[in-house]
């Protein structure tokens, strides 16, 4: 069984290398293959989380609820009536008002080159 597993793993790596070497792989597919090789693909999930009482959150819903409760506790203020501290004004410039429309954004998005690499 172990020999078969090692053979299958090696064949998977050879197949990935072959796909990466060919020049016909698009940029998006190339990066997907690289991430798959590195183990950073969408199949990765949040591992089981341990609650304060020691029980384990296994399902996606339980994990989401546990994280929501955790961050809610972190963001709660002990006395909501307390005013926030006054911070010194260190920047004298005022923000520039940006005015745009849905049509303008849509026109820009429709003119994007979808074949271009991200960040290039």
Give the domain extent around 16.
1-44
Distance between CA 83 and CA 35 in Å, rounded?
47
Does one domain contain both 1 and 39?
yes
Average pLDDT of the residues in 52-65 = 88
Q: How confident is the model at residue 32 (pLDDT cuts 50, 70, 90)?
A: confident
Work out the percent of the chain whose per-residue pLDDT is above 70.
90
Work out the percent of the chain whose per-residue pLDDT is above 90.
16
Is 86 inside any structural domain?
no
Backbone angles phi, psi at 96, to 5 degrees: -80, 135
More confident residue, 12 or 102: 102
At residue 62, does pLDDT exceed 80? yes
Which of these, 3, 33, 31, lies nearest to 15 by C-alpha position? Answer: 33
Task: Give this prediction's pTM.
Answer: 0.34
Is 51 inside any structural domain?
yes
Is 115 inside any structural domain?
no
Distance between CA 51 and CA 56 in Å, rounded?
6
User: Cβ atoms within 10 A of the Cβ of 20, count?
Assistant: 13
DSSP sequence for 75-94: H--S-TTSPPPPPP----PP
Q: Is 78 helix (H, G, I), strand (E, B) or coil?
A: coil
Is 13 inside any structural domain?
yes
Is 61 inside any structural domain?
yes
Is 97 inside any structural domain?
no
Is 63 inside any structural domain?
yes
Q: How confident is the model at residue 105 (pLDDT cuts 50, 70, 90)?
A: very high
Does one domain contain both 28 and 7?
yes
Number of domains within the chain? 2
Determine the pLDDT at residue 24: 65
């Amino acid at each position: 069984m172990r020999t078969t597993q090692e053979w299958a793993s090696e064949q998977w790596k050879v197949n990935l290398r072959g796909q990466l070497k060919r020049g016909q792989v698009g940029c998006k597919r190339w990066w997907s293959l690289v991430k798959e090789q590195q183990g950073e693909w969408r199949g990765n999930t949040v591992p089981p989380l341990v609650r304060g009482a020691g029980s384990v959150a296994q399902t996606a819903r339980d994990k989401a609820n546990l994280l929501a409760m955790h961050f809610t506790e972190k963001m709660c203020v002990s006395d909501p009536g307390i005013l926030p501290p006054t911070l010194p004004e260190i920047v004298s410039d005022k923000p520039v008002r940006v005015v745009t429309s849905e049509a303008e954004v849509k026109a820009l998005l429709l003119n994007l080159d979808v074949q271009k690499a991200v960040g290039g």
